[in-house]
Amino acid sequence: DQQVKQNSPSLSVQEGRISILNCDYTNSMFDYFLWYKKYPAEGPTFLISISSIKDKNEDGRFTVFLNKSAKHLSLHIVPSQPGDSAVYFCAASGGGATNKLIFGTGTLLAVQP
Partner 1 sequence: ETGVTQSPTHLIKTRGQQVTLRCSSQSGHNTVSWYQQALGQGPQFIFQYYREEENGRGNFPPRFSGLQFPNYSSELNVNALELDDSALYLCASQDWYQETQYFGPGTRLLVL
Residue 83 C-alpha from the chain's centroid: 17
In the range 2-21, which residues lie near partner 1 by CB under 8 A? 4
Residue 95 touches partner 1, criterion: CB under 8 A: no
Residue 54 touches partner 1, criterion: CB under 8 A: no
- Tell me how far apart the alpha carbons of residues 112 and 56 are, in angstroms, rounded to a whole number: 27
Q: How far is the CB of 19 from partner 1 (least distance, A)?
A: 19
Contacts of 107 (CB under 8 A, 6+ apart): 6, 8, 9, 10, 11, 21, 22, 87, 88
Determine if the peptide bond prior to 79 is cis (ω within 30°): yes
Q: Binder to partner 1 among 7, 28, 81, 105 (CB under 8 A)?
A: 105
Q: How far is the CB of 41 from partner 1 (least distance, A)?
A: 8
Q: Binder to partner 1 among 22, 49, 57, 74 (CB under 8 A)?
A: 49
Count of helices and strands (H, E) across the chain: 0, 11
Q: Binder to partner 1 among 24, 85, 104, 111 (CB under 8 A)?
A: 104
Q: What does the binding site for partner 1 look like in residue numbers (CB under 8 A)?
A: 4, 32, 34, 36, 41-46, 49, 51, 89, 91, 93, 96-106
